[in-house]
Amino acid sequence: MNLSNEFHIAFYAATITICMTVLLFTFLQKRTDRPQNKLFVVMIIILTMNAISSTGAALTQPKAAYNSSAYILLEIFQFLYFFLHTALCPIFYYYVLCVTGVIRKRSMLRNIVTGIPLLITEGFVIVNPFFHCVYYYDSYFNFSRNWAEALIYGAAGLYYVLSLSELLFSWNAITKRRSVAIVYFFILSLGGILIQLFDINIKSELFAESIALMGIMLAVESEDDRLDSDTNIYNRKALQMDVHNSIALNDDMRLLFIKIANSEVVERLTGSANNDVMTTAISKYLISLVPRYNLYHPNSDTFVMTFIGREDEEVNDIVDRVSNRFKDKWDILNVELILKAAIIDTSLPGELNTIADVLFVADKLIPANANPEDIDIAWIMRRAEVERAVKRNLREEKFEVYYQPTYNLVGPSLHGAEALVRMIDDSIGFISPEEFIPVAEQMGLVEEIDDFVLNEVCKFIKSGIPKSKGMDCINVNLSVVQCLSPGFFEHTVRIVDKYEVDHAMINFEITESVGADDYQVLSEIAKNLKTSGFKLSMDDYGTGYSNMESIFALDFDVVKIDKSILWSAEKNANGRTILKNSINMIHDLGAAVLVEGVEKQEHIDMLTSLGVDYLQGYFFSKPVPKSTLLEII
C-alpha cells in the first residue's frame, strides 16, 4: 500500500470514528422520533457507509490489476460510495426544511419536483457500471472522472443553494444558534468538497462533512436545553421556540392546555412532595395520544399539547379523551386520587396570537375553589383583562371606596359604616370585588388595595364628619394575607397615625379562615390591634370558616353573622334556632352581634326579638359612594 492510500485511509478512519460517536450519542439520547431526527440519522449512516466503502476501495485498488475478485470489490465499493453520497445533499435539503418547519407548508407536488435532480443523478450512478458516464478505471486501474460526475456536483450545488435560501427566508423561524450551526455546516462541508474537487488526492470531503454533522448534532439535534432533566418532557423554552416557529411560518396551530388545579393533593395523600411522579404519570398517558415532541410541560401544574396540520375531528377526539381521562382516578405512588384539571382548547392565530398569550394561559393559576369545567379561554382572557385593570387602576389611583351604613337595633339609629372597595374601569366597566380581589391576591397586589382603602377611610375620619353624624366607627376589611405579611401591624399603625385619627374609630374586619400554622400569628396580630385601641370584628360568621373558639381567642368586639343565616331563619324553624343559638353564644362570649342581609321590616322585627346589637343591609342602603352616604346620614 502506498503512502497516498494510507493518508486516505486515515481520513476515512477519522470519519468513521466521528460518525459512530455521533450515532451512538444520538441513540443514547433517544432523539430519533422527529422527522428531522430521522433524516439526521440517515445522513450519519450515509457518511459512515461512504467512509467504509472508501476504505474498502483504497484497500482493494492496489490489488485490482492482478486479482479479479479485488477488482469486483473495488467496483462495488465505488458504486456504493457514489450511490449513497449522491443522496446526501438532497437529504440535507429536506433536513433544513424540517428544522425550519417549512416542510409543513410545502405541497406534495413541490416536494416531488425538488426531488427530480436526485432521481436523475442517481439514475446516472445506477447505469454507470454499464456506460461509465460518472467515473471509470483506466487500463492502469486509476480512478477517472467522467462528464456525468459534473452533473452530480451541479445537482449537489443546486440543493446547497436551495437549502441556504430556505434557511435565509426562514431565519426568524428558528433560533440564532441553530441558524449559525447550519451555516457552519454549509461552509465546512463546502470547503471539504471544493478541496477534493480540485485535488482528488486530498480526500477531505467525508471528513469535513462528518465534522460539520457533529456540530449540527451539538447545536441542533441535542435538546438538553429544551427538556426537563428529571422528567425528559419538553419544557417552557421548547414551547417558546416551537410557538415562535409556528408564528413565523403562519401556521394554524391548536393548543390544548391541561392545568392541574389540585396538585397539592399528591403531596397530601401520597406523603411525597415530589411532583415529578404526577408529571410522569400524566405525560405517559398524554404521549400515548400525541408524539412526544408535541407535548410540553412549561410549569409544575400545566401541560400543553400542540397540533399542526391535523384534522379538527381528530383533535376533538383527543380533547374528549383527555377530558374523560381526568374524570377517572390516577394511580400515583399506589394511591388512587382524582386530579382536577381545567382543559382549555384554543387556537393560534385566533384566540391566541403571540408567545406572550400562550405563556399567559400556561402560567395562569386556577383558583382552588374554581370548577375546572367552567375554565375556558374566555375565562382566562377575562382574567387577563381584570389583571390589567387592577394594575391600571392602582397606578392611576382610580379605585373608589364605597360605604354601607350600619345601624343600632334601637331606633334604628346610625352606628357606623363598612368601607368597601369598588373598581369601575375605564375600559371594561364595573368589576365586582368578588372578581377582582382574588385576582389581586394572586398578583400580590391586594395589600396595596387594602392600603388605599385604609388611607381613604382615615381621610374621611380626619374630616370629622363621621363623628359629628354619630358614627361610632368605620369598618375596614383586612385580608388574612395582609394580616400575616411581615411588619403588617407597624405598617398599619403608621398609616393611621399619619392622619392623627382616633384608633377606636376604626373597626378591622377579619374572616377567620387560616390554617393551624398561621393561627398563632393571627392571634398575636389581633392582640396588638386591640391593645392599640382598634376595634376588631369577625366577618362572615356562619359561612363555614368561623368557630366559637376563635371568637374567644381573638377577642372580637363584634361578630358579623352572614346573611345566609338570617335568610335561612326566615324560611324555617331550624334556621331560626341556629340564628338564636348563635346570637346567644356570641353574647355569652362577650361580643356584640351584627347581622348582615337585612332587607325588610320582618327581618328587623325578628332580630329585635332575638336581641341583636347592629343591623346592616339593603333595607337601609346598599354600598354607596361617600357623597351618597353623606346624603343618607
Assign domain 226-375 one CATH number from 3.20.20.70, 3.30.70.120, 3.30.70.270, 3.40.50.720.
3.30.70.270
- pLDDT, tens digit (0-9, with 9 covering 90-100), for 515-550: 445 567 778 888 888 899 999 988 877 665 455 555
Q: What are phi and psi of 445, to 5 degrees?
A: -110, 0
Q: Which amino acid is at 374?
A: D
User: Taking the domains of the chain in order of start, what are their residue ranges?
Assistant: 3-222, 226-375, 385-632
Element spanning 20, H or E: helix 3-28
Write out 234-280 in H/E/C secondary structure: ECHHHHHHHHHHHHHCCCCEEEEEEEECCCHHHHHHHCCCCCHHHHH
The pLDDT, as a whole number, for residue 394 is: 87
Cα gap 431→188, rounded to integer Å: 62
- Least confident span in 5-9, 142-146, 414-418, 572-576: 5-9
The three cell numbers of residue 480 are 388574612
The pLDDT, as a whole number, for residue 261 is: 81
The pLDDT, as a whole number, for residue 2 is: 52
What mean pLDDT is predicted for residues 259-276?
71
**Predicted confidence (pLDDT) at residue 445 exceeds the cutoff of 80:** yes
The pLDDT, as a whole number, for residue 379 is: 82
Cα gap 199→592, rounded to integer Å: 103
**Predicted confidence (pLDDT) at residue 398 exceeds the cutoff of 70:** yes
C-alpha distances out from residue 1 to 68, 75, 78, 204, Å:
18, 18, 18, 20
- pLDDT, tens digit (0-9, with 9 covering 90-100), for 317-373: 999 999 999 888 888 778 788 888 888 899 988 888 889 888 988 888 776 666 777
Closest CA to 583 of 549, 553, 548: 548
The pLDDT, as a whole number, for residue 387 is: 87
Where does the pLDDT of residue 623 fall: very low under 50, low under 70, confident under 90, or very high at 90 and above?
very high
The pLDDT, as a whole number, for residue 497 is: 93
What mean pLDDT is predicted for residues 464-468?
91
Q: Which fold has domain 3-222?
A: Rhopdopsin 7-helix transmembrane proteins (1.20.1070)
Closest CA to 570 of 580, 560, 558: 580
DSSP string, 377-424: HHHHHHHHHHHHHHHHHHHTT--EEEEEEEEETTTTEEEEEEEEEEEE
The pLDDT, as a whole number, for residue 515 is: 46
Percent of the chain whose pLDDT exceeds 90: 34
pTM (2 d.p.): 0.70
**Predicted confidence (pLDDT) at residue 444 exceeds the cutoff of 60:** yes
CB atoms within 10 A of CB 20: 14
What mean pLDDT is predicted for residues 200-220?
77
**Predicted confidence (pLDDT) at residue 153 exceeds the cutoff of 80:** yes
Region for 376 from its dihedrals, namely left if φ exceeds 0, alpha if ψ lies in -120 to 50, beta otherwise: beta
The pLDDT, as a whole number, for residue 518 is: 58
Q: Which fold has domain 385-632?
A: TIM Barrel (3.20.20)
Closest CA to 152 of 194, 124, 131, 132: 124
Dihedral sign (CA 616, 618, 620, 622):
positive
The pLDDT, as a whole number, for residue 206 is: 79
Cβ proximity of 47 and 15 under 8 Å: yes
